[in-house]
């Protein structure tokens, strides 16, 4: 059950319409998870700074069970997420940061319980 959160200081009118759906599809492909399990949030227009400036930038947070726990996995995921983000946001790689967080099944609640028991 991946969670993807995109924060950007780009105004909403510079974020492609339907980017949340594109990120959902891309995340499913990149992480090898079913699209119906992917959760995406896109937050444009935030006060942000990357590399010490408030130039247009973005931060992507990717959390998931089992698939973001090693440097090797995340190097591959990072390359693929950067392809999507640089294209869709029209930003250079130096203006995008990606953070990967592995989570355990007991840390995600769903349907009145936690994923451990589903």
The pLDDT-based confidence of 97 (bands split at 50, 70, 90) is: very high
The pLDDT-based confidence of 76 (bands split at 50, 70, 90) is: very high
CA distance 38 to 111: 16
CA distance 31 to 74: 10
Residue 112 pLDDT: 97
Domains of the chain plus CATH, in order, are 3-117 (3.30.429.10)
CA distance 88 to 105: 31
Query: HSE of 97 in the Cβ direction (CA atoms, 13 Å)?
Result: 12
Residue 101 pLDDT: 97
CA distance 41 to 82: 17
Residue 39 pLDDT: 98
**Token digits for 48?**
């942000």
């Amino acid at each position: 059950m991946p969670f993807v959160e995109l924060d950007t200081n780009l105004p909403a009118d510079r974020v492609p319409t339907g980017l949340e759906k594109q990120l959902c599809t891309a995340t499913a492909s990149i992480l090898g998870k079913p699209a119906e399990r992917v959760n995406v949030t896109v937050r444009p227009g935030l006060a942000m700074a990357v590399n010490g400036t408030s130039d247009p930038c973005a931060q992507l947070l990717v959390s998931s069970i089992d698939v973001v726990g090693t440097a090797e996995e995340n190097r591959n995921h990072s390359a693929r997420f950067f392809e999507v983000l640089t294209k869709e946001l029209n930003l250079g790689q130096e203006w995008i940061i990606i953070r990967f967080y592995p989570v355990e099944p007991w840390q995600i609640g769903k349907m009145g319980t936690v994923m451990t028991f589903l």
